[in-house]
Amino acid sequence: MAITTSNPNSRPIVTSETSTNTGVSIEIDYTEYYNRIATAVETIATNSTTIKNDIESIKNSIAVIETKQTTLAEKTSDIRDYQLAIKNFAEHDGIHIKSPWEYLYMYSILNAYVEKGYNINTAKTEVESKPKHRD
């Protein structure tokens, strides 16, 4: 014989008689709640994996950026060295352009030197060793 009772918390109640018919055993069925908890834990696990993968992707992106920063720093250093070489040429016995179109003439001369094996880096060290003078 099953007994129906009121449930103020609206929880499912399973009732059954005891084997000796001397009392009633009342149990609350938490199956729905356990299923919701299991689903929530699975969702947390899935989202945690997604977050872990996103963090790994960010780490890889940071590594790429660091590599590019190193390359940029090296290139910037090279540019600085070339600018110093040009400055040294301009301050010493290097290339001096006085008219707007004279650079074309100077370029052809420089190109001829380069084609004959003239080493600009060697010239740079020679120019740097000469004392500065003003015309």
Six token digits for residue 107: 């370029």
The predicted-structure confidence for 17-64, as pLDDT tens digits, reads as follows 555 555 556 677 888 999 999 999 999 999 999 999 999 999 999 999
Q: Tell whether the model's pLDDT for residue 129 goes beyond 80.
A: no
Name the residue ranges covered by the structural domains of the chain: 92-135
Task: Tell me if the pTM is above 0.85.
Answer: no
For residue 123, what pLDDT is reported?
A: 59
Residues constituting the chain: 135
Phi/psi region, residue 84 (left: phi>0; alpha: psi -120 to 50; beta: rest), is: alpha
The span from the CA of 47 to the CA of 118, in Å, is 64
Six token digits for residue 129: 């060793």
- 127 confidence band (pLDDT: 50, 70, 90): very low
Under a CB-based contact definition with an 8 Å cutoff, are residues 91 and 135 in contact? Answer: no
For residue 107, what pLDDT is reported?
A: 80
The predicted-structure confidence for 64-91, as pLDDT tens digits, reads as follows 999 999 999 999 999 999 898 888 877 8
For residue 119, what pLDDT is reported?
A: 74
- What's the mean pLDDT in 91-113? 76
The span from the CA of 22 to the CA of 109, in Å, is 118
The span from the CA of 84 to the CA of 114, in Å, is 19
For residue 71, what pLDDT is reported?
A: 94
